[in-house]
């Protein structure tokens, strides 16, 4: 019998992980949501519930579907619980050493035919795959944030990824109602290679005093018809994530055009990482966001 993906394991119950769990459960997959602490899993499950309530309010489905989907998600703080998964998607922090450590712990528990994937937005799939016991069953499945709303998934093959792994991944992405775009395994793939330098350039525009936070975001919203200004978007993504992607581009392609703006570095050093820390290019602690420059 041909291998089929029925049970999906997700490592990391944060913003990306809980979003992926949400769409997988709604599409009929059994989901094991794993994280290092029970509190993080509880928080992830609460977020899924809240996001589903919002989708019900928009008339996308009913309460009965929500209950069925939530019942498909099992939380676990034990990595051994992923032994039954047919596909595991790693959604940990965007640091290569953390991901490698997770794969080293995880691989001995996986069944031989299980597919291992990463949601990395910028790190080499080939290099991550080489650190596992199954480079031919390894692939990049990069979701966009927020997962329940965003239509695109970037599929990225490493140099060793087998055709079967690629085909099964395409089927999986289609079944959860997303559209895939195939990217080659080069730093930051497609979306972030184009998007992050634009954000970095917006930060340079602020750094050089060409425009204020408000002026830059208004200009790009109304002048380029972007739904969100680049600095507002940077805060939404997380300035630490923006910086790490720019560093990957700069190191991986050795081109000065990818040099992270010193102001971005300064904000990250200050711990002003955007919405998640309540301060970034905007201050979110009051009634409405106020520009910090």
**Mean pLDDT in the chain?**
97
Of 18, 34, 121, 244, the active-site residue reads 121
pLDDT reported for residue 34: 98
Q: Is 250 a catalytic residue?
A: no
Q: Which CATH superfamily is domain 7-183 in?
A: NAD(P)-binding Rossmann-like Domain (3.40.50.720)
Domain ranges of the chain: 7-183, 191-291
Q: Per-residue pLDDT tens for 230-282?
A: 999 999 999 999 999 999 999 999 999 999 999 999 999 999 999 999 999 99
Tokens of 261: 């703006």
Q: Which carries the bigger pLDDT value, residue 94 or residue 140?
A: 140
Q: Per-residue pLDDT tens for 32-83?
A: 999 999 999 999 999 999 999 999 999 999 999 999 999 999 999 999 999 9
Of 34, 122, 154, 169, the active-site residue reads 154
pLDDT reported for residue 1: 52
pLDDT reported for residue 122: 87
Q: Is 121 a catalytic residue?
A: yes
Q: Is 145 a catalytic residue?
A: no
Q: Is 192 a catalytic residue?
A: yes
Q: Per-residue pLDDT tens for 166-202?
A: 999 999 999 999 999 999 999 999 999 999 999 999 9
Of 18, 169, 192, 200, the active-site residue reads 192
Reply yes or no on domain 191-291 having CATH 3.40.50.720: no
Q: Specify the pTM.
A: 0.92
Of 142, 169, 200, 244, the active-site residue reads 142
């Amino acid at each position: 019998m041909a291998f089929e993906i029925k049970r999906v394991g997700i490592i990391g119950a944060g913003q990306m992980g809980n979003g992926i769990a949400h769409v997988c459960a709604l599409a009929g997959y059994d989901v094991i949501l794993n994280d290092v602490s029970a509190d993080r899993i509880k928080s992830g499950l609460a977020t899924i519930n809240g996001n589903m309530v919002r989708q019900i309010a928009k008339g996308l489905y009913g309460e009965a579907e929500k209950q069925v989907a939530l019942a498909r998600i099992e939380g676990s703080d034990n990595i051994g619980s992923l032994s039954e998964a047919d596909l595991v998607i790693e959604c940990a922090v965007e640091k290569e050493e953390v991901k490698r450590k997770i794969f080293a712990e995880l691989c001995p528990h996986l069944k031989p035919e299980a597919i291992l994937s990463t949601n990395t937005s910028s790190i080499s799939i080939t290099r991550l795959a080489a650190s596992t016991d199954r480079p031919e069953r390894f692939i990049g499945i990069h979701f966009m944030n927020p997962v329940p709303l965003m239509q695109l998934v970037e599929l990225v093959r490493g140099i060793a990824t087998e055709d079967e792994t690629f085909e099964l991944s395409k089927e999986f992405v289609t079944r959860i109602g997303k559209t895939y775009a195939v990217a080659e395994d080069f730093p930051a793939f497609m979306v972030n290679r184009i998007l992050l330098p634009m954000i970095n350039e917006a930060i340079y525009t602020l750094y050089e005093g060409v425009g204020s936070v408000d002026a830059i975001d208004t200009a790009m919203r109304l002048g380029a018809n972007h739904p969100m200004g680049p600095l507002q978007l940077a805060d939404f993504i997380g300035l630490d994530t923006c910086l790490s992607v720019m560093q990957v581009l700069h190191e991986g392609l050795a081109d000065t055009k990818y040099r992270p703006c010193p102001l971005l570095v300064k904000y990250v050093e200050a711990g002003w990482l955007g919405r998640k820390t309540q301060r970034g290019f905007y201050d979110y602690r009051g009634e409405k966001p106020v520009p910090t420059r």
